Structure 1
Amino acid sequence: MKVAVIGSGGREHALVKKFHESPSVSGIVAIPGNYAMGDMAKLVPDIDLEDFGEVGKICDREEIEWVVIGPEAPLSGGMADFLERQHDLKVFGPRKLEAQLESSKAFAKDLMKKYDIPTAKYEIFTDHDDALDYVNQVGAPIVVKKDGLAAGKGVVVAQDIETARAAVRDMMADSKGHVVIEEFMEGEEFSLMVLVNGEFIYPFEVMAQDHKRAFDGDTGPNTGGMGAYAPVTHIPESLRMEAVDKIVRPMAKALVDEGLNYFGVMYLGAIVTEDGVKVIEFNARFGDPEAQVLFNLLESDLGEVLENMYHKKPFSLEWRTGCVAGVMLASQGYPGAFKKGKPVKVPETLMPRCFVSGLDRNEDGTVVTSGGRVLLVTGHGATIEEAAAAAYEGVGQIEYGTDDLFYRKDIGYRAMK
């Protein structure tokens, strides 16, 4: 089969690499891709992913059978709908209505409430003053979420009232007047990727844990993810199964009962509370950087997995032994303002362990930064400690200006306590 991977970041780099390792896959096209995918896939640079028609033409021309959509924006925009209906393609990634599970916090929370799926108590606001009154009434800590896509940065966990009020003001000015305000939940978090086709589901046996905050010790603003590791050895299997039985299966059934047909990845962001496992959020695609770490452990043929999911044919995934940790290098200033075009040198011998999120290669061969999150460096080991040490050893091989990039130095620390 020939596969097209939509997107240009680290998650898509990981997908391309996994398909490249899959015997069932005869060719890969990355739309638009990035330079680091060039030896594994045909790149289609300089394309606007909002131009679904042009994406469809490329897929027809390249005789694509499967399309895997990486980022959330094309999913919420309806790319899957268009490619399925207009070009008769198999698309792994939910259609527009189903993608609301991520693109609309309000839709997801209301669905969880209707079907009694455990999550934080919440209220949805369209009026600025009402939202501020609610914050004053409930107090802090409290969580304010933008009702819409925000590249993983549309959440503020406010430890005081002033921070919460500022978040309300910012988000209501930037999200068409909709915010979701939730109770603060305390506990251990984990990410669970689940392959879904209607009520036919396959939860990954391996959980991951990402690091959302910018700085060590889970401080600083939320980001798209500063690193991840897997498996999460200190959270027992019983809690993964609780998430599957009380959250994932009920959500898959709820979507079917609502007349929706979800096909793709359902990414559960969960938290272990005193009252059991609860939903923090759902995403409608593979996590980034969780995908880079999990695919490093996955040994199964990803092309065969897609076919099995499409036909609802039972299968099992095979996993590599050991642990993988990934450390994200980011541009100084991220997730706020940052500068692009900063030179970065990555040894060729290290590249097989790296996933490019925000690097470009100039015509003269110079590699420079092009985004907030720049590069994820992974390491494998028998334990999380060994995996993290290997990842940081790799980070130490990369050359860049000392004031150009930063990274967290405590990836995996929760598993090392």
Structure 2
Amino acid sequence: MKKILIIGSGAREHALAQAFLRSEQVTTVIVAPGNDGMRDTGIQLAEVAVTDLIGLRELAIQQAVDLTFVGNEEPLTLGVVDVFQASGLTIFGPSKVAAQLEGSKSFTKHILEKYHIPTAQSCTVSSMADAIAAVEKLGLPIVFKLDGLALGKGVSIITSEADAKAYLSKVYKHEPKAKLVIEEYLEGVEFSIFSLVGQNGIVTHAPLAQDHKRRFDHDKGPNTGGMGAYSPVRWINSVTRQRAIAELVMPTIAAMTTEGTPFSGVLYTGVMLTADGPKVIEFNVRFGDPEAQVVLPQYTGDFYNLINQLCHGEQITSDWQTSDVYVGVVLAAEGYPEAPIKGAQVPTDKDVAPLVINFAGVKNGIASGGRVATVVAHDVNTTLAQQKVYNKIDQLDTSLQYRHDIAYQAIAHEVKE
């Protein structure tokens, strides 16, 4: 029987652990470091930091782990896959250099522009003067992206010249040579494609997902790591999905191979459907959170078999459900994202049953971080799935906060139909 190691600590990693445990071949999933909410039968926690690459490798060796899945982006950009593979360990994720697709916005823009993959016009700058010139060239509104990892929060959309100058002044006051990618603002509908990429270019694409970044209802308030998501996105038709895969995803995978930096692992393509067709907003090199919580339950085959076959470049048969829509709502600490207040009581599995809850910032049954848990429901359409999840969480005795309109775009389309 198989033993799996998952690297990370949040609700995404909890959902990954559950996906592996649905395999009849998997008896044990170790999550490093995990969190106290992960109490499912078969899950063990290991207090090894995601940045301790050698410690993670030694854990995998000592525990005789059969396969490692990297949930968190930070160890990927530090090179955990290279470290594991150098010791002959099976691990699913991109190499350090391939992980630059998330770790470096300028690297990504170079690949997209070199291979003529549709994306926003942009300038990469490293001085205040060049940044101001880029704003003048691209016009308002405009998008600023910090070059490195930003945990899903490094994007700022600026609508006025005064706000642009204030933003740039703040950035360059702290770091005079900070690297920024400055992009034209794209109008359209945003959605996400998750592609599981194996050796030899073998790939399967999960159902489309759409997340909700803003903290408050009606897309108000600050950007967050994500307040909820749903999948599949039925109102984006299969022709558009296939076009995005054909024009954005597959050319990027091919380009990485051509560049001598072949990609394997989870390629998360953030897409904007514009009047000119789909364009790349960004890439991540792991599952999104909270998208993982609504995408992973849709895999009806043996998830261990799928990932193991991808790791070894073997032909796959992938099985994704098509009957239901999954809606996930994030429960967050009061004050999130600016100043989360710890200490709130966290609902248990029993509190939300028969729905699924994936835990994130939990310590000894109380909130210890910003995003605390994701509650997931599914039904034959988005409206019914949304009703299920809110009927449950609205009854919870908790001070945790959440949005009340997750999946609103899909529901608006269902009402029209």
TM-score, structure 2 as length reference: 0.93
Question: Helix, strand or coil: the match of 2:248?
Answer: helix
Tell which deviates more after alignment, 154-163 or 225-234.
154-163
The corresponding residue for 2:397 is: 399
Query: Does the CA-based 8 Å contact 1:135-1:165 persist in structure 2?
Result: no
The corresponding residue for 1:364 is: none
Query: Does the CA-based 8 Å contact 1:210-1:226 persist in structure 2?
Result: yes
Alignment of 1:132-143 (within 5 A): 132-143=132-143
1:383 matches 2:378: no
Aligned partners of 1:288, 1:317: CA distance in 2, in Å? 22
Alignment of 1:224-243 (within 5 A): 224-243=225-244
Alignment of 1:7-406 (within 5 A): 7-85=8-86, 87-172=87-172, 173=174, 177-197=178-198, 200-320=201-321, 321-346=323-348, 348-350=350-352, 353-361=356-364, 367-401=365-399, 405-406=400-401
Amino acid at match of 2:396: I
Alignment length, in residue pairs? 408
Aligned partners of 2:258, 2:59: CA distance in 1, in Å? 35
The corresponding residue for 2:415 is: none
Question: Helix, strand or coil: the match of 2:344?
Answer: coil
Aligned partners of 1:202, 1:283: CA distance in 2, in Å? 16
Q: Which runs of 4+ in 1 moved over 4 A?
A: none
Tell which deviates more after alignment, 301-310 or 103-112.
301-310
Aligned partners of 2:267, 2:176: CA distance in 1, in Å? 24
Shift of 1:43: 3.0
Aligned partners of 2:215, 2:319: CA distance in 1, in Å? 33
Amino acid at match of 2:409: R
RMSD between superposed Cα atoms in Å:
1.8
Question: Helix, strand or coil: the match of 2:339?
Answer: coil
Shift of 1:24: 2.5
Gap change, CA 1:296 and 1:177, over 3 Å in 2:
same
Q: What stretches of structure 1 of length at least 5 have no aligned partner?
A: 362-366
1:410 matches 2:405: yes
Amino acid at match of 1:252: I
Gap change, CA 1:278 and 1:219, over 3 Å in 2:
same
Amino acid at match of 1:415: A
Aligned partners of 2:89, 2:296: CA distance in 1, in Å? 24
Query: Does the CA-based 8 Å contact 1:168-1:179 persist in structure 2?
Result: no
Question: Helix, strand or coil: the match of 1:398?
Answer: coil
Amino acid at match of 2:163: T
Shift of 1:282: 0.3
Query: Does the CA-based 8 Å contact 1:156-1:164 persist in structure 2?
Result: no
Shift of 1:392: 1.0
Gap change, CA 1:53 and 1:334, over 3 Å in 2:
same
Aligned partners of 1:195, 1:326: CA distance in 2, in Å? 21
Question: Helix, strand or coil: the match of 1:399?
Answer: coil
Q: What stretches of structure 2 of length at least 5 have no aligned partner?
A: 413-417
Amino acid at match of 2:180: V
Shift of 1:116: 0.4
Gap change, CA 1:391 and 1:251, over 3 Å in 2:
same
Query: Does the CA-based 8 Å contact 2:270-2:281 persist in structure 1?
Result: yes
Query: Does the CA-based 8 Å contact 1:94-1:263 persist in structure 2?
Result: yes
Question: Helix, strand or coil: the match of 1:221?
Answer: strand
Query: Does the CA-based 8 Å contact 1:347-1:398 persist in structure 2?
Result: no
Question: Helix, strand or coil: the match of 2:363?
Answer: strand
Question: Helix, strand or coil: the match of 1:194?
Answer: strand
Query: Does the CA-based 8 Å contact 2:214-2:227 persist in structure 1?
Result: yes
TM-score, structure 1 as length reference: 0.93
Question: Helix, strand or coil: the match of 1:406?
Answer: coil
Aligned partners of 2:297, 2:28: CA distance in 1, in Å? 20
Question: Helix, strand or coil: the match of 1:345?
Answer: coil
Shift of 1:412: 0.5
Query: Does the CA-based 8 Å contact 2:117-2:247 persist in structure 1?
Result: yes
